[in-house]
């Protein structure tokens, strides 16, 4: 990312909505083992960073996060680079693929204010309802959705 984009997007002690999808809209998760590995890697790299996880949702071909950074906004790109590289290596090795797993760099939007934070979290919570294949999970709780309790 350029310095201009960094200064426009990143502010210390702010909330962010991050998301990305598979290259050419392809699946980034084929089974529960893939979801579990993604989740395990996410928590491994979160422990090494000063980023607070607020919400996540994993869908078959994309993901969403709401994260909060502290004083060092660079924690988010460092966390995401390590995490996404780790998952892409796992995925490509497992499925004998080469090249890019994700469509491009993760997308990020700074969340401004309490109302924006609440509406972003609600948007992410509704995401599993949009896919017919995930509707079966909704009644029993979608396993790849997490919202931090306040």
SS (H, E, C) 96-112: CCCCCCECCCCEEEEEC
Q: Tell me the angle at which helices 32-47 and 75-94 cross, rounded to the nearest 10 degrees.
A: 150
Q: Quick one: pLDDT at residue 8?
A: 67
Report CA Rg, the chain.
Answer: 15
Average pLDDT over residues 81-98: 97
The rounded distance, in Å, linking the Cα atoms of 36 and 125 is: 19
The rounded distance, in Å, linking the Cα atoms of 105 and 55 is: 20
The rounded distance, in Å, linking the Cα atoms of 91 and 142 is: 22
Residue ranges per structural domain of the chain: 3-147
**Least reliable range by pLDDT among 56-60, 75-79, 134-138:** 134-138
Specify the pTM: 0.88
Q: Give every CB contact of residue 24 below 8 A, 6+ residues apart in sequence.
A: 103
132: confidence class by pLDDT, cuts 50, 70, 90: low
Q: Quick one: pLDDT at residue 15?
A: 96
Write down the CATH number for the domain with range 3-147: 3.30.70.1290
Q: Quick one: pLDDT at residue 110?
A: 96
Q: How many CA atoms lie within 13 A of 13 on its CB side?
A: 1
Average pLDDT over residues 141-146: 83
* Tally of helices (H runs) and strands (E runs) in the chain: 5, 5
């Amino acid at each position: 990312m350029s310095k201009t984009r960094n200064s426009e997007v990143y502010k210390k002690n702010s909330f962010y909505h991050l998301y990305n999808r598979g290259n050419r809209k392809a699946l980034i998760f084929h089974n529960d083992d893939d979801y579990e590995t993604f989740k395990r890697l996410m928590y491994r790299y979160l422990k090494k960073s000063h980023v607070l996880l607020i919400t996540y949702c994993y869908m078959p071909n994309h993901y969403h996060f709401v994260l909060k950074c502290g004083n060092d906004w660079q924690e988010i790109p460092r966390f995401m680079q390590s995490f996404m590289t780790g998952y892409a290596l796992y995925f490509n090795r497992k499925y004998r693929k080469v090249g890019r797993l994700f469509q491009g760099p993760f997308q990020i939007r700074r969340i401004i204010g309490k109302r924006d934070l609440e509406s972003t979290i609600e948007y992410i919570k509704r995401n599993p309802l949009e896919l017919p294949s995930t509707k079966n999970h909704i009644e029993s709780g979608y396993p790849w959705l997490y919202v931090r309790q306040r």
